[in-house]
Amino acid sequence: MKFFKLLVHATAIVAMGVTTVSAQNADEIMQKHIAAAGGTENWNKVTSMKATGSMNINGMDISMSQTTVNNVGMRMDISAMGMSGYTIITPKEGWFYQPGMEAPMALPVEQLKIAQDKLNIQNGQMVDRTKIDKLEYLGSETINNANCYKLKVTDKTGAVQTAFIDASTYYILRVQSIAKMEDQEQEISINYSNYKQLPEGVVMPMTVSTTQGDITFTTVELNKPVDEKLFVLDVAKKDADPKKN
Q: What is the DSSP string of 167-235?
A: TTT--EEEEEEEEEETTEEEEEEEEEEEEEE-TTS-EEEEEEEETTEEEEEEEEEES----GGGGS--T
Do strands 146-155 and 73-80 pair parallel, antiparallel, or not at all (unpaired)? unpaired
Look at residue 13 in the predicted model and tell me its pLDDT. Answer: 47
pLDDT at 30 over 50: yes
Q: Please provide the average confidence, as pLDDT, over all residues in the chain.
A: 84
Going by pLDDT thresholds of 50, 70 and 90, the confidence category of residue 108 is: confident
Question: What does the pLDDT look like over 43-87, one tens digit per residue?
Answer: 999 999 999 999 887 777 889 999 999 999 999 998 888 888 899
Going by pLDDT thresholds of 50, 70 and 90, the confidence category of residue 243 is: very low
Question: What does the pLDDT look like over 11-29, one tens digit per residue?
Answer: 544 433 333 444 559 999 9
d(CA 51, CA 141): 30
Q: Can you tell me the mean pLDDT for 131-149?
A: 94
Going by pLDDT thresholds of 50, 70 and 90, the confidence category of residue 238 is: very low
pLDDT at 32 over 90: yes
Q: Can you tell me the mean pLDDT for 135-144?
A: 94
Comparing 17 with 138, which gets the higher pLDDT?
Answer: 138
d(CA 135, CA 169): 19
Look at residue 139 in the predicted model and tell me its pLDDT. Answer: 93
Comparing 115 with 137, which gets the higher pLDDT?
Answer: 137
Look at residue 2 in the predicted model and tell me its pLDDT. Answer: 54
Look at residue 83 in the predicted model and tell me its pLDDT. Answer: 85
Q: How far is CA 93 from CA 69, 74, 112, 119, 232, in A?
A: 15, 11, 7, 12, 10
Is the entire prediction scored with pTM above 0.85?
Answer: no
Comparing 215 with 14, which gets the higher pLDDT?
Answer: 215
Question: What does the pLDDT look like over 188-211, one tens digit per residue?
Answer: 899 999 999 999 999 999 999 988
Nearest to residue 206, comparing CAs of 45, 60, 54, 38? 54
Comparing 153 with 240, which gets the higher pLDDT?
Answer: 153
